[in-house]
Amino acid sequence: MQNYRRRAVLALGAAGAVAPFSSAFGQSAWPDKPIRIINPYAPGGIADLAARIIQPGLQNGLGQPIIIESKPGASGSLGTEYVARATPDGYTLLLALAAPQTLNQYIFKSVNYDGLKDFAPIALINTNPLVLMVNPQLPVNNVRELISYAKANPGKLNFAGAGGLTQFSGEIFKHVAGVDMVHVPYRGGAPAVAAAAAGDVQLTFANFSDALTWMRSGRLRAIALTSAKRFQQAPEVPTIAESGLPGFEVTGWSGLMAPAGTPPAIVDRISRVLQKDFAEPAMRKRWESIGAEPGHADPAVFTAMIRSEMQKWSEFVKRTGIKVES
């Protein structure tokens, strides 16, 4: 009997030793096939640029191809929900954007996911201001002149947007400034800015990266930024807050997320790869070249930021009653 018990104890001990080894082996085997990053907007905008900037570093660090796939629609909610419902195995990731993650669920009725509970945050990739630009034919040079012109011509100003923050910035501006402008939807940030430059609409709120070329060429006039502070890459452009609408602040960002339930070891591995990549001086210069600032690869800090943003927008929408048509 004693020998039997001894053999049983040894067997259990061996089983206990095998289990962690098997678990560790399973984790070390990931990834063993290509990984997809879903961009919830059309190609060509800041989301697409962000995904392509981190693509080489992830491929080198993880040893597998990184495939970028666009699934635009419903102001970014379509692709975001797709990832929320994906298998949490680390092979489908989301290029998360500020509006689909922290705002859409409060202003659209058809959003069927929670921007935080349904995801595992991995890293904040970058932040960027939006810029309010007008067609040079519009006789305004600053925010105060724009407000005066809009009040003198109610409903006659059109602004281009691509959903998300580019549209919501205009809606906030209308509410805070007390003006009437009409939103004209476009399928991406680049087409929206091009429409403003062509004179199809009079103004637009655009991600700084989408606006950069048009600003430098003079085909659009930048009159203000949506951020709380001036941007180092365009220090001559004032903020909306300092131009007569104190407290106005909208900041864009991109991040990388996985579906909720993704093993923490996978999240940590991706985070560590990005952290190493972000430390490279060339990476910072790459972000600055498109009018953005690099983020960080701390999942806990990123999670706290998302939670704070969700609370801010939830309270703002309830307080103002702003509604946005999808």
Per-residue pLDDT tens digits for 153-191 = 998 999 998 878 888 899 999 999 999 999 999 877 888
If asked whether residues 211 and 264 sit together in one domain, one would say no
Same domain as 106, residue 73? yes
99 in Cβ contact with 76 (< 8 Å): yes
Chain mean pLDDT for the chain = 88
Q: What is the dihedral of CA 136, 145, 213, 284, to 10 degrees?
A: 170
In tens, the pLDDT along 202-215 reads: 999 998 888 888 88
Pairing of the two strands 119-134 and 221-225: antiparallel
Angle ∠(70,163,271) on CA atoms, nearest 5: 50
Question: Which residues make beta-bridge pairs with 69?
Answer: 38
Rg for the chain, CA atoms, rounded: 23
Can you tell me the mean pLDDT for 66-90? 95
Q: What is the pLDDT of residue 212?
A: 84
Instruction: Give residue 102's domain range.
Output: 34-127+252-320
Alpha-carbon distances, residue 209 vs 48, 80, 115, 175, 195 (angstroms)? 11, 22, 24, 26, 16
Question: Residue 134 has which token pair?
Answer: 């007008």
Count: domains in the chain: 2
Are 229 and 180 part of one and the same domain?
A: yes
* pLDDT number for residue 75: 86
Asked if the model's pLDDT at residue 101 lies above 70, the reply is yes
Do 200 and 62 sit in the same domain of this protein? Answer: no
Which of 196, 216, 243 lies at the terminal end of a domain, its last residue?
A: 243
Q: Is 182 inside a domain boundary?
A: yes
Q: Does 84 share its domain with 113?
A: yes
